[in-house]
Chain A
Amino acid sequence: MTQKAESGPGRWVTYDGNLDHEKLKDADFEKLETFLGKFASETKVLPRMKVDHPTEPTNPQEGLAPPKDLPKPVVKDFIPERFEEIVYGTEGLVMIHVYRADDRHSSFDDVVTKFR
């Protein structure tokens, strides 16, 4: 089933079964799977984790803070008749607060007060 080619200290083994995916049958798949299975490790070896060692201490909050040159949020009143114009005509993230009567979420009110 296989041709073994020893070349120097490294060892290559070639599979010579059918590999044409248009003609591949279940038996061909199983044959290739069995062939590769002979070389597979019994247990999974996890790849090494990449650990970055920054040369300068960094502020853990730095990555979470928005860049300084972002445009400030704009607060617009919701007018059902102009919904598409307001929402789809706006670039960037759109935050909509849906509420009943005057029962608004306090955090949303804080945002509105801050940026209006």
Chain B
Amino acid sequence: MYKALIFFVGVYLTTFTNALFDKDSNVKKVSNTIDLISTFLDPEYLTVVYFHTNDKRSEAMGLLFNELAKRRKQYYKFFAVDCDSIQKDVNKAAVPACHEDFKDALPQILLLEPQHVRSNVHSNRTLEPIQHRYEGDLNIDEFDTFAKKLMPSYSERLVSLEHLEKFLSDQPTLKKAIFLTNKKSIPRYWKALSAHFKGRLMVNLLFIGNAVLSVIVYSLGRPFQKAI
């Protein structure tokens, strides 16, 4: 009787977690190490990975994680790793967070910086991504405060007219987008857009003390002074 009950609870929880991160979710499910390795190779974005099992604690936190992913899908890439499935994988050693010794620490959230950020200076080989364990509450504001400083930005701050001219004349085939701002920090959405358009649109930021927030796009590499 008890065995049957445990079986049904197990099936329910597995089904629940699977349903939680279904195809409409902004969280990509990862259940084997091959998927996981390709997950870590996302070259542009800050990756947020939810390592979980199929228990009630994971289920409750999974709901919040799903909501977070829904609200922040533009800024980060979200993944959920089912450690129960990983344990059955022959390459399970490739996923230390799912190791049996750390099972009590599950569910846990790791933030992985893009791999290209770090490379060996001698061999130029990409190093393992830097991992940050998130231990705060799963509310949007607290998570944003933690994650914002880890977000990669491919938007450079233009500091002089020479710098601006160089930027406009660089890679003539690409159009240039400039964010004019009177604030010194780069907004999170601009960082996210710089990642999204990396290699397809050159995205930079120009600080002008009395500027009105605006975005301008320039389509030909002509000197800035002549274009004004």
Is B130 an interface position by the 8 A CB rule? no
Total A residues in contact with B, Cβ cutoff 8 Å: 33
A residues less than 8 Å from B179 (CB atoms): 19
Is B171 an interface position by the 8 A CB rule? yes
A41-B200, A45-B173, A45-B199 known; A36-B217 Cβ under 8 A: yes
A71–B220 Cα distance when bound, in Å, is 55
A10, A20, A42: the one contacting B213 at CB < 8 Å is A20
B214 contacts A15, CB within 8 Å?
yes
Is A46 an interface position by the 8 A CB rule? yes
A15, A41, A63: the one contacting B215 at CB < 8 Å is A15
A10 contacts B215, CB within 8 Å?
no
A52–B188 Cα distance when bound, in Å, is 35
A20-B213, A32-B193, A41-B174 known; A10-B198 Cβ under 8 A: no
Is B218 an interface position by the 8 A CB rule? yes
Q: Mark A1-22, 1 if CB is under 8 A from B, else 0.
A: 0000001111111111001110
Interface of A is mostly: loop
A20–B217 Cα distance when bound, in Å, is 18
Chain A min CB distance to B89 (Å): 31
A9 contacts B200, CB within 8 Å?
no
Is A33 an interface position by the 8 A CB rule? yes
B223 and chain A: residue at smallest CB distance: A10
A11-B218, A46-B199 known; A19-B213 Cβ under 8 A: yes
Q: Mark A28-43, 1 if CB is under 8 A from B, else 0.
A: 0100110111011111
Q: Mark B51-82, 1 if CB is under 8 A from A, else 0.
A: 00000000000000000000000100000000
B198 contacts A39, CB within 8 Å?
no
A8-B222, A9-B222, A20-B213 known; A43-B122 Cβ under 8 A: no
28 contacts between A and B (CB under 8 A): A7-B228, A8-B227, A10-B219, A12-B218, A12-B227, A14-B216, A15-B214, A21-B187, A26-B74, A32-B193, A33-B196, A35-B215, A36-B197, A36-B201, A36-B215, A36-B217, A39-B177, A39-B219, A40-B175, A40-B200, A40-B201, A41-B201, A43-B200, A44-B199, A44-B200, A45-B199, A46-B199, A47-B171
Taking Cβ atoms with an 8 Å cutoff, the residues of B that contact A are: 74, 122, 168, 171, 173-175, 177, 179, 187-189, 192-193, 196-201, 203, 213-222, 226-228
- CB-CB nearest 7 A-B residue pairs: A44-B199, A10-B222, A21-B187, A40-B200, A15-B215, A40-B201, A19-B213
